[in-house]
């Protein structure tokens, strides 16, 4: 039969699986168990709304059958099954399509990373099997099909006989290699261990024929063996267990099992509430953001259960947007099983739960910040941006909840610091919280605008993300201290040797002539109070800073909002003497110098020079 080729990305993933050196090959079983359990969930949902279907617990289970002689492992479920089209769609293409595109070739070759970071799902079977056969009959269908593949060269699908609805997956387990032993996946004990480790909390029974010994009748010391079907998993959901019985590893396994993420969570929060509203919840703070996190595709939400039965995969109403990174589940006896999405939105109980959850997350993050700084910084690297958006969004409504969770890089501490730490260190004569914006820490370090503030010994917070200044503008102040950009025209710093005002008065005409030369570009040309060694800098008057202008300009529907730019000249720099000289003797030269300085200031700001050809020609004019 002709083989159908896998799509290119799937083929690459398969190659990785087949040649994988990944040590935890056993996770293939977890993936297959989860798929089987999801398939049964789907029938369960259908039964909720379809009167023709009843969900009888006894009929729904997963069965694991090893066959040592033939080196096969069969995993059967009584779930919803797949039609021929679904087999094509689901097994012929990698589910999380696009995930490979996020990785570069070297990372792919290592192999570890990709398996650790992305759900490899069904394909992980190829880590342990030479051949994978899927026989499935979908609910409402009279036909069954067999999908088969030996790896990268493609797969076949053909009609097949299967009486009952559900799916059988048959793996032809690889022969042992020099260093690798696959026999565990054919042994009762090995399989049991792996199932317990990863899939203990699967809600449906995972059954296996287990060899049991019992004393022979009438004959002491003699035993006979027989096979007995046993349920291998515990089925009591982890959230119903006593916290003291559970280890970090249990929570981590649950996180992986549920596919909340492919990282290791930084923290879990287990909540049991038995008050006027009863609920249990397990929440996780992930370590890293999923690739689509900061895109419109990302959907936040927690799994919602009603008395242990999943009623919604992603209940968005349970999490505020700014905590959208939190993964996990909530189970409440007080929610009705058949509640609709629309009704849930207005459900008073759900609102109360959401509020409690929000406060729990906040207090847990706060504790992590205070007691486990290293992990908090990891978290902040992944999701700090989200918190800052949280401060900015909804007209700053949530800023009080979030301001103490923010961190910024400090010029003096050379690490991330909180606003509270900054304010508590402020010298008495310092009125403002100073910040400087730029692309990265190194660039900001070198910004001329920081000279005076840094010289004064004041700490400066470095803003490197687009949202930073917008969030801070929304915050307005922290502990009554206002924020001030080092680029703002009035820095409010006393400087005894300041001679700028006199110089500016004395050289009024020079400044006026310079202003005239670039009148369409800046609102003013002034003597700078903030520069020490640099000749020139751009500052801004008013609410819109130059960094904000950059962000606003890059937006699709930008409305041409500009900062009021001021060109500041260091009157104590030799360049100023040249300007004075040019004013006295050669007005064209003054124009040339002014334009050059303006363009230099643009470059320092990371803004594009408006006319690069004119700029280089001007440079040449000074040289010859
Ligand atoms: N036992 C099964 N019964 C019914 N459908 C299944 C079964 N196993 C897999 N599928 C279908 O194949 C799809 C692909 O499975 P796969 O394990 O590759 O990815 P996933 O479960 O969607 O996502 P991931 O494992 O990456 O979280 C599933 O979404 C499901 O639709």
pLDDT for 95? 44
DSSP string, 3-56: PBPPPHHHHHHHHHHHT---S-TTHHHHHHHHHHHHHHHHHHHHHHH-TT----
C-alpha–C-alpha distance, residues 63 and 33, integer Å: 10
| Cβ contact 296:225 at 8 Å | no
Q: Is 619 annotated as a binding residue?
A: no
Check if 95 has its Cβ closer than 6 Å to any atom of ligand 1: yes
| Cβ contact 7:93 at 8 Å | yes
Q: Is 580 annotated as a binding residue?
A: no
C-alpha–C-alpha distance, residues 312 and 303, integer Å: 6
**pLDDT tens per residue across span 426-474:** 999 999 999 999 999 999 999 988 988 998 999 999 999 999 999 999 9
Residue 265 pLDDT > 90 = yes
**pLDDT tens per residue across span 545-582:** 888 888 888 888 777 788 899 999 999 999 999 999 99
Query: Ligand 1, residues 64, 84, 122: which to mutate, most atoms within 8 A of Cβ?
Result: 122
Check if 290 has its Cβ closer than 6 Å to any atom of ligand 1: no
What spacing in Å lies between the alpha carbon of 342 and ligand 1's midpoint? 28
Check if 258 has its Cβ closer than 6 Å to any atom of ligand 1: no
Q: What is the position in ligand 1's atom list of the atom closest to the CA of 34?
A: 21
Question: Strand 129-137 to strand 564-569: parallel, antiparallel, or no bridges (unpaired)?
Answer: unpaired
Check if 39 has its Cβ closer than 6 Å to any atom of ligand 1: yes
Q: What is the mean pLDDT of residues 183-204?
A: 88
| Cβ contact 323:361 at 8 Å | yes
Sheet-wide strand order for 564-569: 524-527, 564-569, 536-541
Residue 112 pLDDT > 50 = no
Residue 111 pLDDT > 50 = no
Check if 82 has its Cβ closer than 6 Å to any atom of ligand 1: yes
C-alpha–C-alpha distance, residues 382 and 289, integer Å: 6
Q: What is the position in ligand 1's atom list of the atom closest to the CA of 75?
A: 1
What spacing in Å lies between the alpha carbon of 493 and ligand 1's midpoint? 63
406-485 maps to which CATH number?
A: 3.40.50.11260
pLDDT band at 116 (very low <50, low <70, confident <90, very high): very low
What spacing in Å lies between the alpha carbon of 92 and ligand 1's midpoint? 11
| Cβ contact 119:262 at 8 Å | yes
Q: Is 345 annotated as a binding residue?
A: no
Check if 65 has its Cβ closer than 6 Å to any atom of ligand 1: no
Residue 218 pLDDT > 90 = no
- From the list 64, 59, 61, 60, the residue with the least C-alpha distance to 29 is 64
pLDDT for 532? 85
pLDDT for 200? 79
Q: What is the position in ligand 1's atom list of the atom closest to the CA of 118?
A: 26
Residue 109 pLDDT > 60 = no
Angle at alpha carbon of residue 598, lines to 546 and 445, rounded to 5°: 55
What spacing in Å lies between the alpha carbon of 1 and ligand 1's midpoint? 25
Check if 582 has its Cβ closer than 6 Å to any atom of ligand 1: no
What's the CATH class of domain 10-231? alpha beta
Q: Is 11 annotated as a binding residue?
A: no
C-alpha–C-alpha distance, residues 450 and 374, integer Å: 29
Alpha helices in 274-402 (DSSP H): 341-345, 348-371, 373-392, 399-402
| Cβ contact 449:537 at 8 Å | yes
Domain covering 500-623: architecture: Up-down Bundle (1.20)
Check if 256 has its Cβ closer than 6 Å to any atom of ligand 1: no
C-alpha–C-alpha distance, residues 88 and 95, integer Å: 12
- From the list 436, 428, 479, 467, the residue with the least C-alpha distance to 454 is 436
What's the CATH class of domain 246-372? alpha beta
C-alpha–C-alpha distance, residues 130 and 183, integer Å: 14
**pLDDT tens per residue across span 58-85:** 899 999 999 999 999 999 999 999 999 9
- Helix, strand, coil share (%) of the chain residues, nearest 5: 40, 20, 35
The kind and range of the H/E element at 112 are: helix 112-117
**pLDDT tens per residue across span 479-512:** 999 999 998 877 888 777 778 888 888 899 999 9
Check if 100 has its Cβ closer than 6 Å to any atom of ligand 1: no
pLDDT band at 341 (very low <50, low <70, confident <90, very high): low
C-alpha–C-alpha distance, residues 320 and 534, integer Å: 46
Provide the residue ranges of all domains of the chain, joining segments of one domain with +: 10-231, 246-372, 406-485, 500-623
Of the two residues 165 and 105, the one the predictor is more confident about is: 165
| Cβ contact 347:354 at 8 Å | no
Q: What is the position in ligand 1's atom list of the atom closest to the CA of 42?
A: 4
What spacing in Å lies between the alpha carbon of 423 and ligand 1's midpoint? 52
C-alpha–C-alpha distance, residues 402 and 387, integer Å: 7
Check if 436 has its Cβ closer than 6 Å to any atom of ligand 1: no
What spacing in Å lies between the alpha carbon of 35 and ligand 1's midpoint? 5
Query: Ligand 1, residues 10, 28, 38: which to mutate, most atoms within 8 A of Cβ?
Result: 38
Share of the chain above pLDDT 70, in %: 93
Coil/strand/helix, residue 582 = helix
Residue nearest ligand 1's atom 6 by CA = 35
C-alpha–C-alpha distance, residues 602 and 611, integer Å: 11
Flag the least confident range among 217-221, 275-279, 374-378. 217-221
pLDDT for 102? 46
pLDDT for 180? 86
Residue nearest ligand 1's atom 12 by CA = 90
Q: What is the mean pLDDT of residues 213-238?
A: 86
Mean pLDDT of the chain: 89
Q: Is 499 annotated as a binding residue?
A: no
- From the list 528, 526, 525, 447, the residue with the least C-alpha distance to 495 is 528
Q: Is 341 annotated as a binding residue?
A: yes
Residue nearest ligand 1's atom 11 by CA = 90
Q: Is 301 annotated as a binding residue?
A: no
Backbone angles phi, psi at 481, to 5 degrees: -100, 125
Separation in Å, CA 468 to CA 273, 292, 491: 37, 21, 19
C-alpha–C-alpha distance, residues 559 and 551, integer Å: 12
Q: Which of 9-13, 90-94, 193-197, 339-343 has the highest mean pLDDT?
A: 193-197
pLDDT for 22? 66
Q: Is 172 annotated as a binding residue?
A: no
Residue nearest ligand 1's atom 22 by CA = 95
Backbone angles phi, psi at 483, to 5 degrees: -90, 145
C-alpha–C-alpha distance, residues 573 and 575, integer Å: 5
Check if 99 has its Cβ closer than 6 Å to any atom of ligand 1: no
Share of the chain above pLDDT 90, in %: 60
**pLDDT tens per residue across span 143-166:** 999 999 998 888 999 999 999 999
**pLDDT tens per residue across span 239-264:** 988 899 999 999 998 998 788 988 89
Q: Is 119 annotated as a binding residue?
A: yes
């Amino acid at each position: 039969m002709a083989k159908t080729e896998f799509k290119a990305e799937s083929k690459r993933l398969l190659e990785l699986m087949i040649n994988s050196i990944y040590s935890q090959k056993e996770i293939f079983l977890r993936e297959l168990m989860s798929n089987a359990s999801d398939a049964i969930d789907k029938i369960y949902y259908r039964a909720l709304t379809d009167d023709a279907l009843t969900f009888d617990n006894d009929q729904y289970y997963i069965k694991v059958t090893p066959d040592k002689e033939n080196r096969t492992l069969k995993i059967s479920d009584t779930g919803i099954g797949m039609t021929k089209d679904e087999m094509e769609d689901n097994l012929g293409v990698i589910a999380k399509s696009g995930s490979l595109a996020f990785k570069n070739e070297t990372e792919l070759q290592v192999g570890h990373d990709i398996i650790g970071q992305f759900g490899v799902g069904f394909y992980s079977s190829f880590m342990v099997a030479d051949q994978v056969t899927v026989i499935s009959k979908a609910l409402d269908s009279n036909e069954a099909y067999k999908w088969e593949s030996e790896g990268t060269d493609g797969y076949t699908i053909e009609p097949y006989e299967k009486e009952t609805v559900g799916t059988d997956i048959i793996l032809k387990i690889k022969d042992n290699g020099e260093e690798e032993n696959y026999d565990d996946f054919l042994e009762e004990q090995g399989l049991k261990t792996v199932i317990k480790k990863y899939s203990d909390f699967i809600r449906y029974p995972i059954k296996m024929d287990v060899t049991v010994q019992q004393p022979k009748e009438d004959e002491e010391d003699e035993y006979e063996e027989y096979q007995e079907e046993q349920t291998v998993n515990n089925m009591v959901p982890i959230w119903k267990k006593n916290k003291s019985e559970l280890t970090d590893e249990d929570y981590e396994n649950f996180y992986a099992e549920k596919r909340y993420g492919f990282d290791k969570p930084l923290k879990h929060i287990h909540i049991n509430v038995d008050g006027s509203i009863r609920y249990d919840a397990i929440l996780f703070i992930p370590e890293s953001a999923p690739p689509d996190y900061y895109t419109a595709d990302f959907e936040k939400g927690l799994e919602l259960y009603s008395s242990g039965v999943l009623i919604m995969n992603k209940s968005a109403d349970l999490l505020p947007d700014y905590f959208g990174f939190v993964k996990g589940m909530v189970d409440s006896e007080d929610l009705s099983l058949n509640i609709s999405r629309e009704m849930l939105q207005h459900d008073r109980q759900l609102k109360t739960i959401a509020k409690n959850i929000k406060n729990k997350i906040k207090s847990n993050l706060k504790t992590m910040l205070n007691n486990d700084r290293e992990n908090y910084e990891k978290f902040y690297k992944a999701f700090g941006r989200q918190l800052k958006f949280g401060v900015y969004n909804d007209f700053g409504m949530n800023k009080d909840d979030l301001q103490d969770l923010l961190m910024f890089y400090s010029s003096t501490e050379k690490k991330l610091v909180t606003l509270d730490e900054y304010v508590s260190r402020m010298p008495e004569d310092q009125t403002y919280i100073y910040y400087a914006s730029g692309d990265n820490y190194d660039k900001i370090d070198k910004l001329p605008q920081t000279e005076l503030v840094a010289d004064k010994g004041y700490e400066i917070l470095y803003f490197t993300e687009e949202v930073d200044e917008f969030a801070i503008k929304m915050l307005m102040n922290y502990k009554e201290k206002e924020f001030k950009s080092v680029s703002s025209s009035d820095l409010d710093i006393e400087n005894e040797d300041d001679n700028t005002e006199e110089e500016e008065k004395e050289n009024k005409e020079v400044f006026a002539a310079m202003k005239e030369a670039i009148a369409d570009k800046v609102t003013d040309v002034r003597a700078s109070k903030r520069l020490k060694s640099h000749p020139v800098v751009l500052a801004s008057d008013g609410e819109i800073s130059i960094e904000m202008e950059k962000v606003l300009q890059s937006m699709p529907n930008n409305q041409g909002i500009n900062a009021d730019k001021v060109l500041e000249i260091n009157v104590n720099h030799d360049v100023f003497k040249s300007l004075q000289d040019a004013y006295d003797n050669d007005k064209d030269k003054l124009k040339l110098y002014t334009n050059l300085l303006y363009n230099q200031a643009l470059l320092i700001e990371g803004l594009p020079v408006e006319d690069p050809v004119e700029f280089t020609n001007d440079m040449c004019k000074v040289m010859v």
